[in-house]
Chain A
């Protein structure tokens, strides 16, 4: 599973660092480092809905406050 977080200016301001840190932590805690590849990209052309995250080709809007829920439903449940 490839999870990509937008780290462009707009998403950065909306908290992409905290989203990345949250995901990194959760992936580590759940021993998913071999199964989930976490990466960054600059701008997904959907700045209004930042922080933009994609899992494989599917797009999501995540905020630092919703990282836990997002991880549970979209990553942990599906990996």
Chain B
């Protein structure tokens, strides 16, 4: 896009149009005798709520401060899941990439574990770790670990042979190779998966909360659903999306800081 302002305007326009459709669909009755004898709402507010009600609820949640506690819980779970999962993924990824035998032995089990839909683990974790934050953290870890693990594994394996030969010819010992070649290479790959990994950490936390907890955004959404409070569900989703966008922006900022040496991706049209 040549003009950032034009882009931004168009992006806002999409939101405005969608919200307008939602607003008028849920507040203005139409009369189409062919479909229904009585005038009716195209988007029934019982099922769809209305944008104003959703914004009002969201504002009230923030204003009264109820939501902060739940946001804090979800954020804590996300960060713990990410930190533990990423650390495990980096360590195991490194280990497997440097020891081909271990990687070969564990290969079918890694594939098996990764193929398992994580949602089915949630009740198990709740059973083992209780309904507090740790069962949600565990769920997030199982998601984050594999993403980071595969990327680090790949990163260490795919160090350019020329670069490696050069490093050896420059006199690097095994430890110096680790620090100067394998580690930075693995880090690049880890960062390329950072957005996905953080996203999955959040998914783990919210799904865990949804399936059984006493706090967090997932819990709030689940509670609202239980009483057919559609406004509450939409409000929860709105808060969740704002939360994701903020986290994603932060991740981008960190990434740009740490990977200054990387060539800029091809300019976007």
Partners in one complex: no
